[in-house]
Structure 1
Amino acid sequence: MASGTKRRSNEGALSFMEKLSPVVAVYRPTASSTASDSTSDPALVIVTSWTDALGAHIVKYITKYQELYPKAQILLIRNTSKLFFNRSSIGPAVQPAASVVRAAIAALPASAPPHSSPHILLHIFSNGGSASAGSLYEQYAATAAEGEDSKIPRHVTIFDSAPSTNFRMSQAVAFFTVGLSPIQRVIAAPFLYLVAAGYALILGLRLITDIQTRWTNHHNDPSLVSEARRTYVYSDTDALIHPDDVEQHAQEAEKAGYTVRKEKFVASGHVSHSRKDAGRYWEIVTSTWDGSYSGN
């Protein structure tokens, strides 16, 4: 009973958002919010949360965005372990989000054409969020009308603890042991390392493609992504995402023509950089949005 109550309270944290599917929800500001003096808010903030993230954790980011950009609609795309490992199901689950993006852009005044400057802020958390965002690119393109640009309109992107570019056994084991007690981790570790080693062997023999590679590559594909600038927020001690992987992806992004900024935190945990230094974290977000940095 206690666990069920906890689960309901976690989900209740996001009850103010309109649920469009099991993993897609949207917040639309009230008339009083849109009447604020803010003139530089995004039309839409898209948050793609990490795998199996609890509502009580996600809501901290949603409410901060409400505070920063009171005029912005906020689109939340969640991910689950079941979706993450089932490529055929993630697309239909994410598809309702494409309609929200189109509606938000269609509501822009004529003086703000959708491709002249960014009107969307995309915030990606971990590999789960990376998969959701990559699927959104695909669904937006697949549902484009004849003659319509198939790419999500120009936006800026925050990568938080994402993405991975190489399969690493230690990170894979860390992913599957999140939430386990120390004793449970000790018991599960040998089995998980054995499974991870087998998966690494299959990848090495090129019998399959790494499940994450498709989404990771999407973010650096100009045929899918029309982006003004991006920032990678990561850590030197993240147990799930190796800093070398993030930096490799950033380097590949620069080669593809994207404007890249890298912000490495010291000793912060996976998707916990805002807890380590909230002031720095949200300054990174706002300066990425308004372009008040030169890139590096």
Structure 2
Amino acid sequence: MPEKLTWIRLNPYVSVSCQPNTPNGRIVVKNHDVSPSIILLFGWMGARFHQVLDYADALHELFPSSTIVIISSWAEFVWRSQSYLNTAMIPVVELLQSERNHKTRFRGALVHIISNGGGWQFMTLRKVLSNLQLSTPPADRAPTALILDSVPDDKGLKSSLRAVSPTNPILRVLVFPFLFCLYVSIFIHNRFTGRLPLFAELRVALLQAEILPFIVTGGAPRLYVYSQSDPLVLATRVEQHIAAAAQLGLDVAVEEFEGTSHAAHMHSDPERYWSAVHSMWVGAVARMSNTVSH
């Protein structure tokens, strides 16, 4: 059992793990350790820190030498300016750059996204990375992998309102008119500016081969985790995205659960869930090793 992590909150959205009782919060990496240098864990919209911590703790057990970054998602995402959203991701960019710049020990990055809210924050991070002007080239021989848990959806108004509405039924009734007007305003703004609708933009972002542009080059394998019983993100929507990814030649794996609700797959069968995640990463490392050897 690895030592318990402590956490440093960098801003209202971003927290980073820190190993206690070690220099600079880091641990010594053993030769046989295949842990990624950094893991980005994007929580679902409205998730409390302790809820996402269940995932972070499990990731720490699998990959004890990885730095783990938790990125939170809140309903305000849909009405905040792009500039504000980009600024919130700066600490994540700096952490990625810091890890990448240590090329002799950079062991790649694992991106773990839960639900559409997590996907939207990832989408924002990709935008920031895509606009970077870096003086040093990205790491070109490091593994990456993408875990997609209960994402992406594509149901427009219905999904948007459900995603940002309060869980309390009374509050939901009170704020629904405001949220509806907000959605219509955003829709009109997107039409006039040529920007894709939020869910369409998310689906496009998750089909990009390079998940962390200007940090690591090369396509990333991806694992889709979903359920036919998910009432929020329909299985058919996820399966359409899986088919699109495969058609683009992306390396795709699927873990389909039965009878599990939205973003509840990990708690229903932790052993199966984390085995799939671990296998995805180990496979990414093996493929990278084979590429380098040839």
| TM-score class normalised by the smaller sequence | 0.7 to 0.9
1:240 aligned residue (214, 229, 232): 232
Residues 67 and 180 (structure 1), Cα distance of their counterparts in 2 relative to 1, 3 Å cut: same
Give CA deviations for 1:109-161 in whole Å, capped at 9, x if unaligned: 2xx6x6xxx7111000111111111111121232331463499x751000011
CA distance in 2, matches of 1:230, 1:224: 10
Secondary structure of 2:112's counterpart equals: strand
CA distance in 1, matches of 2:166, 2:258: 21
Cα contact 2:45–2:117 (8 A) shared by 1? yes
Identity of aligned residues (%): 22
Say if 2:105 is the partner of 1:105: no
Matched with 1:34 is 27
2:203 aligned residue (201, 204, 216): 216
Tell me which amino acid in the other structure corresponds to 1:45.
I
5+ residue gaps, structure 1, are 1-13
Tell me which amino acid in the other structure corresponds to 1:280.
R
2:120 aligned residue (114, 131, 136): 131
Tell me which amino acid in the other structure corresponds to 1:134.
M
Give CA deviations for 1:253-274 in whole Å, capped at 9, x if unaligned: 1222210112111111111101
Compute the TM-score of the two structures, normalised by the length of structure 2: 0.77
Tell me which amino acid in the other structure corresponds to 2:270.
A
- CA drift at 1:108: 4.0
Matches for 1:161-176 after TM superposition, within 5 Å: 161-167=150-156, 169=158, 171-176=159-164
Tell me which amino acid in the other structure corresponds to 1:53.
A
Residue-pair matches, total: 267
Cα contact 2:103–2:139 (8 A) shared by 1? no
Tell me which amino acid in the other structure corresponds to 1:75.
V
Compute the TM-score of the two structures, normalised by the length of structure 1: 0.77
Q: Please, which moves more after superposition, 227-236 or 84-93?
A: 84-93
5+ residue gaps, structure 2, are 213-217, 287-294
Q: Please, which moves more after superposition, 128-137 or 221-230?
A: 221-230
Tell me which amino acid in the other structure corresponds to 1:259.
D
Matches for 1:12-51 after TM superposition, within 5 Å: 16-30=6-20, 31=22, 34-35=27-28, 37=30, 39-51=33-45
Runs of 4 or more, structure 1, over 4 Å off, are 205-208
Matched with 1:144 is 133
Matched with 1:7 is none
Tell me which amino acid in the other structure corresponds to 1:212.
F
Cα contact 1:159–1:232 (8 A) shared by 2? yes
CA distance in 2, matches of 1:134, 1:248: 19
Matched with 1:263 is 255
